[in-house]
Amino acid sequence: MKRVENIFDAVAANYEQELEQGLALTGQNSAFYARERIYTLYTLLSSRFRDRVRRILDFGCGTGGSRNYFYERWPDADYVGCDPSESSLEVAATRYRQPKTTWTTSTAGLDKFDLVFTNGVFHHILPENRASALTLIRSVMNPTGLFAFFENNPWNPGTLYIMSRVTFDRDATTISPSMGRRLLEGQGFNPICFSSLFYFPSAFGLLRPLEKWLRQVPLGGQYLYLCSLQ
């Protein structure tokens, strides 16, 4: 398998177009899903925790598509987007110029974070390297911080079809909700909340209010484990 940074360096300039090609089936663009992920995360946090988020790490930020939505919720927080793909970070730095924003290929030397976020990153990390990536995340979290682990759900056939249409996703090794929980617990994280998202494409948009009743059913297009440190 090619190194992750090489894969994403090659597609950085056309990342959104590649992603939209896969998502066309759903009738929604990548911005819709980015906004909904941050909204879901925000609603799951207690008001007390929301108010004390001062530093956010977007681990595997790619071209920075989540930055706008973090800024909407936490405009005064320091945001660090970290990704091994330098080409992706160059795109992010050009597109997103909010204050208190840093783009970097390494977490070395950075202060601790209150909130760490990762979306669809770990299925690109070789299984044998996932534990060390989680160890790195643990090392940069405040003891009272939280980790939001979003992953594509292979138990959803629509997700698998979408991934097959995206060049940088079709060879990825997916992580089921049960595998994700074992992985997180095995590396010292405590999954305090599970949420399953994105059941209905836009053609069935009238059914989307039902999704709040399906959050504990692990069959949505993506899932989230919100974790504290054990």
11-30 pLDDT tens trace: 777 788 888 888 998 999 99
pTM of this structure: 0.94
Task: Give per-residue pLDDT as tens, 52-90.
Answer: 999 999 999 999 999 999 999 999 999 999 999 999 999
CA distance 137 to 183: 13
Q: What is the 3-state secondary structure (H, E, C) of the chain?
A: CCCHHHHHHHHHHHHHHHHHHHHHHHCCCHHHHHHHHHHHHHHHCCHHHHHCCCEEEEECCCCCCCHHHHHHHCCCCEEEEECCCHHHHHHHHHHCCCCCEEEECCCCCCCCEEEEEEECCHHHCCHHHHHHHHHHHHHCEEEEEEEEEEEECCCCHHHHHHHHCCCCCCCCCCCCHHHHHHHHHHCCEEEEEEEEECCCCHHHHHHHHHHHHCCCCCCCCEEEEEEEEC
**Segments making up each domain of the chain, as ranges:** 4-229
Higher pLDDT, 37 or 10: 37
CATH pick for 4-229 out of 3.30.70.420, 3.40.50.300, 3.40.50.150, 2.40.50.100 = 3.40.50.150
